Chains A and B, each alone.
Chain A
Amino acid sequence: MFKWFGKVNYTPYTKVSDFAQYLKDGYFMGSRCKKCGATSFPPRADCEQCMSGDFEFFEVSGRGRVHTFTKIVAAPTGFEDVAPYIVGVIDLEEGGKALAWFGDSIEEGDIEIGMEVQIVPQIFEELEEIKVYYSIERLGTTWSKVSSAH
């Protein structure tokens, strides 16, 4: 079900496809090597450290700081209808980086490099097919389905 991930998905098949199922359920997950314990976000099936293929998902807090960002005006195919959009790279608290759109909880003018933010699972509500992603939101923002589950 990795085809659920992203407004446009180019990689429907992957060993970490459960990531999209977790995201749909409101969980933001990284991967952890069962052999050596090395963690990764974005998740990967095969350990970069010890090369073991035995991994498990673990929940990442999603908290982090803005490393950099840009407002993309000239959009590629499949994104014309949402342009312009602001893309950011986030340094995650538990290590690793995530790339995502800034969501509704943050005004464009308030975005600053270094600011604390929260990655939040999202569903494209307006689409009939299942499409999930995550967005960059104000610290403390929770997804409604997440908050009730916790």
Chain B
Amino acid sequence: MTRVGIVGVGHGVFGRRSDATVQELAFEAFRDALEDAAIDRDVIDASVIGSVPEYHKQRSLAGVIQEYLGLVPKPTWLTEVACASGSAAMRTAWMSIKAGVHDIVAVIGCQKMTELSTAEILALMGRVGEVQWESGFGTTFPGYYAMFAKRHMHEYGTTREQLLDVAVKNHFYGAKNPYALFRKEITREKAMESEEVATPFQVYDCCANADGAACVILASEERAKEISTKPVWLDGIGCATATMSVLRRPSLVGLPSAEKAAAVAYEMAGVGPEDVRVADVHDCFTIAEIMAYEDLGFCKKGEGGPFVAERQTYIGGKVAVNVDGGLKAKGHPIGATGVSMTYEIAKQLRGEAGERQVPDVDVGLTHNVGGIGQYCFVQVMKRD
């Protein structure tokens, strides 16, 4: 079967984008990716849209995007697995090329989250968990991850300071990313002054809703070599699930879906965690990045707290993580996130990440989680 190469990447500014519709956001990223690939849109065989429908007024989003991008009558479809919808789009596009159905596919992750009223957001927030047995108690997204944090602190001695070290690091790099929502550094002290959300979390433990889009153009090996002088290869792509209900998980100190997805991706790509020099991981909450280090094998189980405190995930450490600012500083337009992660790692592998460039990278990784770990996608990317 053919290898699948990334031949073009595009990204729009994340943030409160009151200036644009969701299809206009998608267009920015798509145009950027076409320019990057130096191809005309006529060569695109199909598009896959990663997005979460309930945030948009427009129903059946793929259709309006396909029209606005000028890709009609080519095929399109939407993928949805909560915050991992963008990676699901990556995976189905990758599958379609692997299967020989398409040669060149545009993957667009996009989301507008700021159009909903606060009341609508609060209503959606109340249905994030398993609704039959959990939501009736007013569980929330930060509430679930806060319970992971409490248990992780209990079992491994992870500290409040270590959690905030994740936020400080990601804001440090986010300040250097022109696409990021928050472009300023923070201190632990400032973070500790922020409002309480769900203990032990305060505002600075949580990523922010945002609007935004990113685009990645994938091609078969043959076409990728024709189009690009430096294609990035998507050699491993693992996907796994965990139970919707946290009540049916044996432990709440990691995401079993992430461990499984990583194992699949590493095996497919023929690499191990020690080979990964740069990674974008799903830091929707500070504890989530610490658990990601462990689930991905960057450090041993339980050692994620000291790992970040010792600056092992800064550039110059063992593996640079979220040097684009992560969800924390870059913002989290949920459907766009997985594609945005792919954008960053492709740029890193091409040596085009500017002042955030990690030296000597041959292997990079993305880790995109849907919900509270119900879905996880891990991609291993390589350069020639």
Contact = CB atoms under 8 A, between A and B. Distances in A.
Contacts of A68: 147-148, 150-151, 154, 252
Interface in A41-69: 41-42, 67-69
A114 B151 CA distance: 10
A111 to B, nearest CB: 10
Interface in A3-30: 5-11, 14
Interface in B120-143: 122-123, 125-127, 131-140, 142-143
A78 B126 contact: yes
Interface in B4-42: none
Interface residues of A, number: 37
A6 B125 CA distance: 16
B2 interface: no
Nearest to B134: A99
Interface string B147-191: 110110010000000000000000000000000000000000000
Contacts of A144: none
A77 B92 CA distance: 35
Contacts of B195: 73
B242 interface: no
A146 interface: no
A76 B121 CA distance: 8
B132 A76 contact: no
B198 A5 contact: no
B247 to A, nearest CB: 4
Contact of B151 (A10, A42, A67, A76): A67
A10 B124 CA distance: 12
Contacts of A11: 131-132
Contacts, number: 112
A133 B147 contact: no
How many B residues touch the partner, as a band? Answer: 35 or more
B138 A74 contact: no
A16 to B, nearest CB: 9
B269 interface: no
A8 B151 contact: no
Scoring B119, B134, B143 by chain A CB atoms within 10 A of each residue's CB, the highest score goes to B143
B315 interface: no
Scoring A76, A78, A79 by chain B CB atoms within 10 A of each residue's CB, the highest score goes to A76
Interface in A76-127: 76-79, 82-83, 85, 87, 89, 96-101, 113-114
Contacts of B218: none
B208 interface: no
A10 B127 contact: yes
B148 to A, nearest CB: 7
Contacts of A6: 135-137
A130 interface: no
Contacts of A98: 247
Contact of A87 (B138, B151, B252): B138
B186 to A, nearest CB: 20
A74 B126 CA distance: 11
A36 interface: no
A10 B137 CA distance: 11
Nearest to B148: A68
A14 B134 CA distance: 15
A74 B142 contact: yes
A58 to B, nearest CB: 17
A89 B181 CA distance: 34
A1 interface: no
Nearest to A75: B138
A134 to B, nearest CB: 9
B231 to A, nearest CB: 44
A38 interface: no
Interface of B: 119, 122-123, 125-127, 131-140, 142-143, 146-148, 150-151, 154, 195-200, 245-248, 252
17 contacts: A10-B136, A42-B133, A67-B151, A67-B252, A68-B147, A70-B200, A71-B196, A74-B198, A75-B140, A76-B126, A76-B140, A77-B122, A77-B126, A78-B126, A89-B147, A97-B246, A100-B137
Interface of A: 5-11, 14, 41-42, 67-79, 82-83, 85, 87, 89, 96-101, 113-114, 133
Given A73-B196, A97-B247, 6 more contacts: A11-B132, A42-B247, A68-B150, A70-B147, A72-B140, A73-B198
List 9 tightest A-B contacts by C-beta distance, closest first: A6-B136, A76-B126, A79-B138, A70-B146, A10-B131, A68-B151, A97-B247, A77-B123, A68-B147
